[in-house]
Amino acid sequence: MTDTQDTVTLAMPTPGGGEAMQHLRVLSIIASKTNPRKFFCPFKLTELAESIKATGVHQPILVRPLPESRIQEEIAQAKLEGREPAQYELVCGERRWRGTQMAGLEYIPAMIREMTDAQALEAQIIENLQREDVTALEEAEGYQALMKESGMNADEVAEKIKKSRGYIYARLKILKLCPEGREAMRQGELDYSCALPIARIATFDLQREALKWSLETDYRNDKRSARDVQAHVTNNYMLDLHKAPFSRKDAELCPSAGACTTCPHRTGADQDEDSKSADVCTNPPCYRNKEQAHAEQLRKQAQERGCEVLGEREAKQLIGNYYNDFTGVPGYKRLDSRHDCPIEGKTLRKAIGAKIMEQSGIKPTMITNPNNPKELIPCVTPEQAQQLLQMAGHAEAEEKLATEALQRAEREEKEAKTQAKNDYERAWRLDVLQTVVKRLQQEEQAHQADLTPMSKAGNRLAAQRLAGQLNGDDSKLLCKLLDLGKVVPKEAIKQAADDWSNPELLTGCIIALHDRGFWNRYDYETDSYKPNTNTELLAMAEACGVDVEAAKAKAQANMRAAEAARKAAVTPQTAAPKADLPQHPAARAGGDGGRGNAKKGKKPAAQASEKPKTSAAHASAQIAEALQELEGSGAAAAAQGNDGAPVAVAQAPISGAKAQGDKAAPVAAKAAHGLPPASEIEEDFPYPDDDAQQPAVAQAAAVDGGQGNTDAKTGAAVKQWTAEELVAERVQIRETATGKQQKPWIGYEGTVVAQIGPESVDVSIVRAPRCKPIRVAFHISEVEVIQ
């Protein structure tokens, strides 16, 4: 044994003698710290040990004399372990050295060579990395160590080991993987083909997200393939800069990020040839920040030029929640979409030209993309597009747009008729349902049924079974009709089946509710579509004594009342509610839609205003025509009201009022072509989960207590109007409206379209031009008639 005072003596090759081949003691050799190979498969190592034990080591390992930098460390470690200090450091052949130890052999053939640290590292990397079983991560770490120690670059390493330049760069890219990714590679959970796309992502946080997704199994419980990982990374973390809305050369857009052309996160700037052609951004947060800055820049520039800018909220009201290049923008033509230009292969902007656009004085409307608030869509109205195309000399294209306008008007006319018919069919069915439910509930309250336990149990279970099959909307509607309060809908209906003395009456309510729908069914005998007959609803109506024809007459009367309100709503307003939306394109054609062209008296503007379009009066005529088609069986006569008064009052009695001579109060149904539904409770009903204080449920069967019908236009001089008198009147919402759903509308103007209670009315409010009217319920004290 030696101690720290002993002189260190190690076996050294004879100077100038070159390499020496010897059988060295296994314990006289220690492993190298720079060996790039870190993982040795225990199963394969066991197989190698068995082979060495049987036949020995056939190929010598390569060692060098223990370097001076490790001598003191080795002496201390040997003393601690109680063994002789090692004299050699292993350079190549660690698997054979380990296998020999496992086989229990004392000696191993070795080639002893004098080598510097750099020479030893180079030999280790080249010898080990050319083997097939070395991992990609170990290979990359070896290349990195070689470049650091020897000062070589990637090109020189590629030349040294006879690999391509792209191969070396791809391996080195793995070193940019997050620590969790490297560990997954060492454990064999993540292979190189899946790791490389993840390593290209800019930040560790995003890499961890992609790594988590990659290590999960797919819907078949299979491991995700390299193709799946590549597609996921490309779609979610690599953004094509060619499609970027901003300039890649603009270094001032986001000063902290600089220009994309010199950004290290741009794959086109990477020296890896395999990724140059892609030219994508691997830093999504930076890309999104530039998108946002660019959008703000565009908004500012548009406002400075006097362009109208529609925000995200207004854009969703106009377009909806879904937008793509094929759906387009209702009522507008996009300047930069080929789908909106009548000239094939061109956009309107290219067809018109910047010079004509500037000369016309027309400023495009900038509409926010509802799917991407950072994008603005420049648009013009169809009339403006016609004018611009004519100014640019594209007569055929201008004529094509005129034809499209005519077709659009015809289509809207047809849709208006269809909508009017559908509204009528749904209105009277819902009216019948309301009356049936009310009659059945009254029967339950008036007579306590004396059923046997078996009968009651059977009826109760049947009602609960049917209640469980209702969808969410139907169960909410029935809860509201039964006035069950703020409860969980289905559970409340099931509880009602327990509480009612005659549960079969509740079963009748559910059956009538389920059969209230309207749709056109195909009739094989006549080879045509016919309305659904609603046999179950009509059977329940007959059993409850509900006058179906009266309900139909009332539906027509309500539609006429709503149409009268519609006509009143389109009259010029002196105090229109504040809105960010532009005027309807049809309204712009003859006005200032051309931004000053009307003053010049140019002929194209006049021609644009002459193009056929669906005006409010035209829509009214369409609805009236649809109503004429619906009249029959005496219902039309009942729907005429009092001597042609503006608001039609249904003469047909309901809920047994016929025998008493009572008249049914008019309740406005849904008007066609844009008016909101008045009797479709399922669309606007404040369900139990709403916190707002709403007026009572729409009483479509309310009776006026023997009083005759009153013309809606009378009583203007009275300080407080009745709910019936307010129908079809133009009103303004007063500051006394304090409900959660009513308060936001203070100061707005609207039209009363229905009476929904003794002192409650429904007001149709147009939030902004081109927006669908919104129906809100108010107490009569919360509205003021505009004289």
The edge-to-edge listing of strands for the beta sheet with 783-785 is 774-779, 760-765, 749-757, 730-733, 783-785
Residue 540 in contact with residue 441, Cβ under 8 Å? no
Q: DSSP assignment, residue 661?
A: T
CA–CA distance, 377 with 677 (Å, rounded to integer):
32
CA–CA distance, 506 with 497 (Å, rounded to integer):
7
Q: Which residues pair with 774 in a beta bridge?
A: 765
And the tokens for 147? 């470049």
Give, for 235, the enclosing helix (H) or strand (E).
helix 226-237
Q: DSSP assignment, residue 240?
A: E
Nearest to 642 by CA among 698, 587, 703, 724: 724
With tokens 């490297």, the residue in question is: 182
And the tokens for 750? 């609207």
Q: DSSP assignment, residue 703?
A: B
In Å, how far are 306, 402, 413, 566, 787 from 570, measured between CA atoms?
Answer: 28, 25, 18, 7, 16
Q: By CB neighbour count within 10 A (0-12 exposed, 13-18 middle, 19+ buried), where does 526 fall?
A: exposed
In Å, how far are 53, 75, 740, 781 from 744, measured between CA atoms?
Answer: 89, 85, 8, 16
Note the residue count of the chain: 787
Give, for 110, the enclosing helix (H) or strand (E).
strand 107-112
Q: What is residue 343's three-state secondary structure?
A: coil
Active site residue 525: no
In Å, how far are 69, 116, 122, 144, 172 from 151, measured between CA atoms?
Answer: 21, 15, 11, 10, 15
CA–CA distance, 428 with 560 (Å, rounded to integer):
14
In Å, how far are 101, 202, 285, 294 from 289, measured between CA atoms?
Answer: 59, 15, 6, 9
- Among residues 74, 94, 138, 725, the one annotated as catalytic is 94
In Å, how far are 275, 309, 333, 584, 606 from 386, measured between CA atoms?
Answer: 46, 22, 10, 16, 11
Per 3-state DSSP, the chain is made up of helix, strand and coil in percentages (nearest 5) of 50, 10, 40
In Å, how far are 244, 246, 768 from 240, measured between CA atoms?
Answer: 7, 12, 38
Q: Torsion-angle region of residue 770: left (phi > 0), alpha (psi -120 to 50) or beta?
A: left
CA–CA distance, 281 with 267 (Å, rounded to integer):
7
Residue 435 in contact with residue 546, Cβ under 8 Å? yes
Q: Which residues pair with 529 in a beta bridge?
A: 522
Catalytic residue numbers, as ranges: 94
